[in-house]
Amino acid sequence: MLSADEITGDYVLQDIATGLQFPKAMTILPSGEVLIAERDGFLTLISSDSRQARFALDLPDLYTEGQGGVLDVLPINDELLISYSKGSDDSNALAVVLAQFSTETGAAQVVPVYEVQDTKDTPVHYGGKLLALTTGGYLVTTGDGFDYREKAQLPSSHLGKIIGFTLSGAPLNSPSFDDNPYIYSYGHRNPQGLVYGADGNIYQHEHGPDGGDELNLIVKGANYGWPVVTRGKDYSGANISPFTSYQGMTEPLINWTPSIAPSSMAVYSHDAFPLLTDAFLITSLKAKKLFAVKASKNETGKAMFNVYPIINQLNTRLRDVKVDANGDILVLTDGADSRLIRVSPKP
């Protein structure tokens, strides 16, 4: 097994933006500019020479308490798909909207696309990660709302699910559940990462409770177990479930106990760091490290996943990760006065 130092070789860290306010997600635009979504309803555009332009978002009923706020952005030509939490302390939910976008003027003409119909009175566990399907349509992750974890197992609820939808707000064709055609998969707790792997399959990671963070291979219609199955415990130390596996429920590819609090994920499809090619890059909030996950096979041909902490000296919560056209890794830190950091091979 390779060491973490062998995976990356020597590299250079460079701040390319500072002073960011509670960033939640970023995307790299076709122009190479980086667009960062901030919790309190702002977009910050970072140019190639590190200049910043900040735009306010006009999001209906934006709710920013707890883990809420703007959650993710996904560019679609001259539009942006945006996930965010809306409502109040007593009644809030995840929503997805579509907005016109210009790098000169920001976002405008916000149109509702999808909203979780289960409202809740907890400001946590929204999910909100977006993915464009290669077959058409989109996915968004939804959290279980913390106090509503049993709903993750109910096909009648949109909490604790991966939801499939079109830009018109309709569910995807060929639903897994005729009575609730929006549900793509279920049994999730607080899913944060959602990407296509190098093999063309969809992968997701999610927060467990105290332990039990997971990396999953997502299959349409599958049940991922929460809260019937978990390797984590409640924050009080009490057992949540006696089961770590259960018939008909899909087991994770990786379990992290103790928790690392995975926050986002990208696939490294470049050769600037040759030993990272096709690896998953995963940021973490609790572990404060950037991890690489590489797939291999054992002597019997069974798939194995090796985890490497490749960037561990930042000593701060890491919120998001992307790979630019040069193969450099962009890492976004979390919280007030955050940074966007470029990781590039040492010349």
Q: What is the pLDDT of residue 1?
A: 63
Q: What is the CATH number of the domain that holds 173?
A: 2.120.10.30
Quick check: 341 and 16 in contact, CB under 8 A?
A: yes
Nearest of 240, 220, 219 to residue 231 by alpha carbon: 240
Task: Give 197: exposed, middle or buried? Use CB within 10 Å, 0-12, 13-18, 19+.
Answer: middle
Return the number of other C-beta atoms located less than 10 Å from residue 291's C-beta: 26
Q: What is the pLDDT of residue 282?
A: 99
Task: Give 211: exposed, middle or buried? Use CB within 10 Å, 0-12, 13-18, 19+.
Answer: middle
pLDDT of residue 106 exceeding 70, the answer is yes
Q: What is the pLDDT of residues 42-86, one digit of tens each?
A: 999 999 999 999 999 999 999 999 999 999 999 999 999 999 999
Work out the average pLDDT over 22-43: 98
Q: What is the pLDDT of residue 4?
A: 74
| Domains held by the chain: number | 1
Work out the average pLDDT over 190-205: 98
Q: What is the pLDDT of residues 268-322, one digit of tens each?
A: 999 999 999 999 999 999 999 999 999 988 888 888 999 999 999 999 999 999 9
Higher pLDDT, 290 or 175: 290
Work out the average pLDDT over 147-157: 98
pLDDT of residue 195 exceeding 70, the answer is yes
Q: Which domain holds residue 308?
A: 4-345
Q: What is the pLDDT of residues 236-248, one digit of tens each?
A: 999 999 999 999 9
Quick check: 114 and 165 in contact, CB under 8 A?
A: yes
Q: What is the pLDDT of residue 3?
A: 73
Task: Name which of 121-125, 139-143, 173-177, 255-259 the model is least confident about.
Answer: 173-177
Q: DSSP assignment of 272-294, as one string?
A: SSGGGTT-EEEEESSS--EEEEE
Work out the average pLDDT over 16-26: 98
